[in-house]
Chains A and B, each alone.
Chain A
Amino acid sequence: MSVGILVVSHSAAVAEGTVAIARQMAADVPLVAAGGTEDGGIGTSFEAITAGIEELSSADAVVVLCDLGSAYLTTDTALDFLDDDQRARVHVSKAPVVEGTVAAAVAAQTGGDVDAVLAAAASAAATETDAGSASGASDGQPGGTVPADGPAAVDDASASATVELVNESGLHARPAAEFVKAAAKHEAKVTVNGVDAKSLLAIMALALPKGATVTIDATGPDAQDAVDRLVELVRSGFGE
């Protein structure tokens, strides 16, 4: 399945710039910018959005990223004017436009279907709040109360491993996306060097190059399996 991405912004420069950033990491994904009004001003254009969806007509699905409120309103209005079968191809993400577009593009580049692309975009939005709540939980719960919860202890199995990155590009772009995809298959809460292993942007923000050491921690019913699979993936060099 091929997924195209449409970036809708109030500014042509923001839409085009966002597409340029995403294209660096996802050269094969059809990315279209629909920014600004017809006369080059600040605003959103029904015509440009409609034309952008049309331009992506060869993609099996289109994911739309929007910036501020009226970008969503204009996009929704444009969708109302599409035929039902065209309408069904188009999905609007609520993710922040720059982070969401990059995450969505990388997911599409690595062969993700429309659900995976939407999930990747959504994970870009969740990065900050996840980080906040994760640190809040660890501050409040240093782990001393765990043994008191008898039945919960079964679910709280944990596993950990440290492994060196052997592939050329490190834990970046495509390898990062594959890592996230593998981590997301597990129920366990997984972190890599302390950040959420299911968040593409959090991992990319670590900027881990070849030769860097990564520590993978997992907590949950399939913790050991998750760590084993991820270690195997890192050692395989992500096929590079």
Chain B
Amino acid sequence: MALDTAWAIDWVRRTASTIDEHRAELVNLDREIGDGDHGENLDRGFRAVVETLDDGSFETPGAVFKAVATKLISTVGGAAGPLFGTAYLKAAQAAGDATELDADGLVAVLTAARDGVVSRGKAETGDKTMVDAWSPAVDAAAAAAAAGETPEQVLAAAADAARTGAEATDPLVARKGRASYLGERAVGHRDPGAQSTAYILRAAVDAA
């Protein structure tokens, strides 16, 4: 299926499902090295987002992303609200009025989302944050697009790289966020935001 408005809506619905399904896991990851609210907050946020989708009509993927952004920002009480909210907001701006994303359009959307997260949270690669999932995802997507792959293949490359990136946060010491207070004790635990980023991008693949 093309990466059109119906795909964007299905992506968001699948995101809400996968976050709900992994809520306990995300709560536990965050409890180990944070304040334990990541799973609850994201679950609440995406439930509210789904209600917004049920109530509205959307003409473009960009319009869907914008609705997600404003809802997440206003309903998620933790850092994930402004971070994912900014990601979707920048994604919406990058998507513009396009009714369908081609491979390059998808790379532009993912890049804008990643840049939004970086500018909001001021984290760099290796800080043990969601940037460690976003950045490899963007790099993999750009490489796949440059190799002439289809939008679906580009998306799959991004999701695979995000998962690998999330796994790679396990041995890191955190330099941003609540986990940075733990020093060496954060080693051996996965960053919850990187993990949820991987789930969100996986949902995008499943919707395509």
Residues of B within 8 A of A38 (CB): 75, 77
The CA of A202 and the CA of B61, in the complex, are separated in Å by 55
A41 in contact with B77 (CB, 8 Å)? yes
Shortest distance from the beta carbon of A47 to any chain B beta carbon, whole Å: 6
Q: Does B121 contact A (CB under 8 A)?
A: yes
In the complex, chain A residues 61-85 whose Cβ is within 8 Å of any chain B Cβ: 68-70, 73-74, 76-77, 80
Which of A36, A41, A43, A70 counts the most B-chain CB atoms under 10 A from its CB? A70
The CA of A80 and the CA of B86, in the complex, are separated in Å by 10
The CA of A239 and the CA of B81, in the complex, are separated in Å by 50
Residues of B within 8 A of A76 (CB): 82, 120
Shortest distance from the beta carbon of A54 to any chain B beta carbon, whole Å: 15
Q: Using C-beta atoms within 8 Å of the partner chain, give the interface range for chain A.
A: 10 to 19
Which of B37, B73, B120, B121 counts the most A-chain CB atoms under 10 A from its CB? B73
B86 in contact with A77 (CB, 8 Å)? yes
**Interchain pairs with CB closer than 8 A, number:** 50
Residues of B within 8 A of A77 (CB): 73, 81-82, 85-86, 120
A74 in contact with B81 (CB, 8 Å)? yes
B82 in contact with A47 (CB, 8 Å)? no
B78 in contact with A43 (CB, 8 Å)? yes
Task: Give 19 CB contacts A-B under 8 Å.
Answer: A36-B77, A41-B77, A42-B35, A43-B77, A45-B77, A46-B74, A68-B178, A69-B79, A69-B178, A70-B77, A70-B79, A73-B81, A73-B82, A74-B82, A76-B82, A76-B120, A77-B73, A77-B85, A77-B86
Q: Which residues of B contact A (CB under 8 A)?
A: 35, 37, 41, 73-79, 81-83, 85-86, 120-121, 176-178
Q: Which residues of A contact B (CB under 8 A)?
A: 36-38, 41-47, 68-70, 73-74, 76-77, 80
